Amino acid sequence: MLRPLAFDADDTLWHNESHYAETQEAFRALLRPYHDDAWIDARLHDTELRNLGHYGYGIKGFTLSMIETALELTEDRLDGAGIRQVVELGKAMLAKPVEPLPGVAEVLQELSNSYDLMLITKGDLFDQETKLARSGLGTHFSKVEIVSEKDEGAYAAILERHGIRPAGFIMVGNSVKSDILPVLALGARAIHIPYHLTWAHEVVAAPGDAPFPVLETIRDLPALLASW
């Protein structure tokens, strides 16, 4: 049997956080007549975290949080045209092309000969399924798991569902919080490939002894796996 090798999706296989950064800049521009950028960012972040339990992760929840923040920061003075503008920002994000990161398609094709490739991502089910389909990468994966949270319990349930022993499992992703630490806690292996932007909610301090490899690009992954 091929050894299981799992990948995160957003910012590991394709660009994602950069779209949020572009949209947040447009959101700042809309609210600059009322507040400075730092305060707008802080209140939006607080609203996003507060709403995770209601909406989960993803663009739709982000859009609703932008609307709520805009109404709060303008003391409900934002008119219908302004709210429509925020809604259009969210729709524009959903319509953005899914751009695989450099080398992703080639590496997945190469590794599919030696590994059973899995995709494990969190977020809105419809949005993540759509992005995978539009990415053109779906055929490389034998298993796709879209979860509401990527913590130790979620990974344990996935491994049990597919009959995978933690000692034989490897996870590859850009988030130390979601892709690395929960996997290591189960006794599996994890490989970190940082993206140039990280959502503040995903930023955590890595263990001092760094018990996982960090790669500059996914193109370095086959050589690392071969050395293991």
pLDDT for 120-139, tens place per residue?
A: 999 999 999 999 999 999 99
> Average pLDDT over the chain, rounded to whole?
93
Chain segment 177-196, per-residue pLDDT in tens: 999 999 999 999 999 999 88
| Section 53-62 average pLDDT | 92
Is the pLDDT score of 24 beyond 90? yes
Is the pLDDT score of 149 beyond 70? yes
75 and 184 fall within a common domain: no
81 and 122 fall within a common domain: no
Please give the pLDDT value at position 200: 66
Residue burial 92-108, b: 16+ Cβ < 10 Å; e: rest: ebbebebebbeebbebb
104 and 210 fall within a common domain: yes
Please give the pLDDT value at position 196: 82
Is the pLDDT score of 213 beyond 80? yes
pTM for the model: 0.90
61 and 143 fall within a common domain: no
Please give the pLDDT value at position 207: 65
Please give the tally of structural domains in the chain: 2
121 and 149 fall within a common domain: yes
57 and 156 fall within a common domain: no
Any idea what the CATH number is for the domain that residue 195 is in? 3.40.50.1000
Q: 68 CB contacts (<8 Å, ≥6 apart)?
A: 47, 51
103 and 211 fall within a common domain: yes
| Section 133-151 average pLDDT | 95
218 and 142 fall within a common domain: yes
CA distance linking residue 108 with residue 14, whole number of Å: 13
pLDDT grade, residue 225 (50/70/90)? very high
Chain segment 73-122, per-residue pLDDT in tens: 999 999 999 999 999 999 999 999 999 999 999 999 999 999 999 999 99
Any idea what the CATH number is for the domain that residue 41 is in? 1.10.150.240
- Residue where a domain stops, chosen among 60, 75, 95: 95
% residues pLDDT > 70 (the chain): 95
- Residue where a domain stops, chosen among 31, 63, 95: 95
- Residue where a domain stops, chosen among 95, 112, 136: 95
CA distance linking residue 195 with residue 14, whole number of Å: 10
Residue 156: CB atoms within 10 Å: 15
104 and 40 fall within a common domain: no
59 and 88 fall within a common domain: yes
- Write out the residue range of the structural domain in which residue 187 sits: 3-15+98-227
Asked whether the CA dihedral 207, 151, 59, 172 is positive or negative, the reply is positive
Is the pLDDT score of 210 beyond 80? no
C-alpha torsion 140→144→146→150, nearest 10: -90
183 and 109 fall within a common domain: yes
Please give the pLDDT value at position 204: 74
141 and 124 fall within a common domain: yes
CA distance linking residue 149 with residue 163, whole number of Å: 20
